[in-house]
Amino acid sequence: MIHQDKEIKNTKNKTKPSCCCSHDEPIHSDNDGHDHGHDHEHGAEGSLFKLFLPSIISLALLLIGIGFDYYFPQNWFSGYVRIAWYVIAYLPVGLPVLREAYESIVKGDVFSEFFLMCIATIGAFAIGEYPEGVAVMLFYTIGETFQGMAVSKAKSNIKSLLDQRPDEVSVLENNTAVKIKAKDAKIGDIIQLKAGEKLGLDGELLSDSASFNTAALTGESKPDTKKKGDTVLAGMINGNTIAQVRVTTAYNDSKLSKILELVQNATTKKAPAELFIRKFAKIYTPIVVYLAIAICLLPMLFVDNYVFSDWLYRALVFLVISCPCALVISIPLGYFGGIGAASKNGILFKGSNYLDSISKIQNVVMDKTGTMTEGVFKVQEVIIKPDFDKEEILKLVNVLEGKSTHPVATAIHNHVGVIDSSIELKNVEEISGHGLKAEVNGKELHVGNFKLLDKFNISYDIDPGSVVYTTIAIAYNNKFAGYLTIADEIKADAQETVSKLKALGVKVTMLSGDKTNVVQFVADKLGIKNAFGDLLPEDKVNKVNEIKAKNETVAFVGDGVNDAPVIALSTVGIAMGGLGSDAAIETADVVIQDDKPSKIAMAINIGKQTKKIVWQNIGLAFVVKAFVLILGAGGLATMWEAVFADVGVALLAILNAVRIQKMRF
């Protein structure tokens, strides 16, 4: 809305409220998560009445005036009284627009839509068409009010995230729960959560188990049961038991805070269609003003019975029709609706440009572990050479893997047990794509894949390719000590994902640092023809470059730190946000919050539907406006047709744009 919501604007962040630019500004929030940006919240009945009050007053006065003019003629309703009546009817809706036009001119933006409406309606008064002058401004204002409400609805799905962080949390001090500001909680504090309470910060569950509603983060309302030691995130709602959580992340660094930051910045990255329309409007509006002047004045050189008022009326009709409102509001609204629909389903787009890009994806390249598989490994077998003490080797491996955050390390820790703190490691080094090495008891310890052993010329007497499961090789004192096999489960919706991607005409490729035979085993189960294993991070980059060299678009889906380079390289980078590393999430263009691979196809579908709606709106606006512009220039259209071509088309485009929020994907 542009006129009646001045009282809800943030004075510190005031922006020009033109529909050309005001409806797609980012949401601003402070550290407490409260919204301070210009929004269009019109939910309460009282505020709705206040919002429409100027239009109601103008409409009532206009209808009474038309009644006196045509249906119940009054002798006193003539001359200056009649003019004054229509001026009074005009002012409630016209004054705000006149003010906006003045402010735009002062800022150097002369040819704004406000300017068009002002000269068109004032011109109508100048030639005695008072009812039409009031009607044009009235319907324009009503149209803008509905536009503001539509934008508000489009934003509400995303803005609801701002309500997920409570202002206060209950922290245990001397076994007593004390309420403090959530942002004042420190790492290490223990939060006590009552049933139904929202968690304010990321942490580690101390209770034996607890059930959480994770809808705020994932879009899934199904409860998620967590066990002692599991990570729980800000925004999750505790189930029906009291739970205790140790804070592990500062308030501003929580996963939800990062989500909010993504959301706040999403609308600043414009899709090509939005950028085109903005540039188009800046050129288009001055042109139609000059054309209107030409329509008014040029005919006096060629028309015998030239009547200035008739041609001025045609020019004014032309101006009303030419207002680019339908385009400049419905297009950003379409993209914002797409971002909102995606966020409601646990998919976060960092900008509307990525909605555009993902709609054109020809290849989806995905990591295996944590993307198509659960990323929750279990040790299947332990093979240690007789020359080594099995218990000692496992203790050493457990200590070294304790330095890693990889799911494999968690599997080993779960199998071996508590890390022996008496064992000291020196010169710990993580070798990307290979594994870990360290010095212990004066001897070198290597734990990783068999490429790690090859790198350090350590011989072994087994064929790694003969083992189907993921294999963790161990070398101690530069001798092969044995290996562990670890298995991972394929995600329940992984096969469905591949089928849906194929149905969308997208080619699927799987890349992994895991063994080739393990990768091929998983790929065969999922129906993926192109699968490659034993890849280092740079190998993944090369594979993606090979696809891009064919001038094909590619989306890469991953979750690990090592995936960040190839995520950055791809046309659209997609990160699994639940198990995903912060580096992958920060680098990605799209974040899937619940780690479900089926959301990949959903994200592509949302992109396609959004783009389809945007181009429907562009086509509708151009066709109708072009047709009525020709009629207006030829004197065959009145102000009423002009109002439809402007406000009517804008409302139709808006209704079409908000459709995406009702769609099921």
664 CB-contact burial (10 Å; exposed 0-12 / middle 13-18 / buried 19+): exposed
DSSP code of 642?
A: H
CA 226 to chain centre: 27
Direct distance between the N- and C-terminal alpha carbons of the chain, in angstroms, rounded to an integer: 30
Enclosing H/E stretch for 348? strand 347-349
CB count in 10 Å sphere of residue 539: 16
299 vs 296: CA distance, rounded Å: 7
246 φψ region: left (φ > 0), alpha (ψ -120 to 50), beta (else)? beta
113 vs 638: CA distance, rounded Å: 19
**Strands, sheet with 507-511, edge to edge from the N-terminal-most edge strand:** 347-349, 590-592, 572-576, 554-558, 363-367, 507-511, 530-532
101 vs 18: CA distance, rounded Å: 10
Q: Residue 540: name the closest of 382, 369, 373 by CA.
A: 369
Check: CB of residue 41 under 8 Å from CB of residue 152: yes
Check: CB of residue 54 under 8 Å from CB of residue 141: yes
CB count in 10 Å sphere of residue 413: 18
Angle 334-340-343 from CA coordinates, rounded to 5° = 145
Q: Residue 572: name the closest of 588, 585, 551 by CA.
A: 588
Check: CB of residue 129 under 8 Å from CB of residue 82: no
Contacts of 269 by beta carbon, 8 Å cutoff, 6+ apart: 350, 351, 352, 353, 354
665 vs 657: CA distance, rounded Å: 16
Q: Residue 201: name the closest of 253, 259, 270 by CA.
A: 253
Contacts of 594 by beta carbon, 8 Å cutoff, 6+ apart: 214, 217, 218, 219, 220, 346, 577, 578
Pull the structure tokens for residue 106: 């002062």
Contacts of 429 by beta carbon, 8 Å cutoff, 6+ apart: 436, 437, 438
637 vs 630: CA distance, rounded Å: 9
Q: Residue 558: name the closest of 536, 531, 530, 587 by CA.
A: 587
Angle 620-623-629 from CA coordinates, rounded to 5° = 125
**Angle in degrees, 0-180, between the axes of helices 407-416 and 390-401, rounded to the nearest 10:** 140
238 HSE (CA, 13 A, CB side): 23
CB count in 10 Å sphere of residue 429: 10
Pull the structure tokens for residue 31: 């550290």
Q: Are strands 209-213 and 237-238 parallel, antiparallel or unpaired?
A: antiparallel
> Residue written as tokens 């909010």?
260
Give catalytic residue positions: 367
Contacts of 353 by beta carbon, 8 Å cutoff, 6+ apart: 269, 270, 271, 272
Q: Residue 441: name the closest of 474, 392, 514 by CA.
A: 392
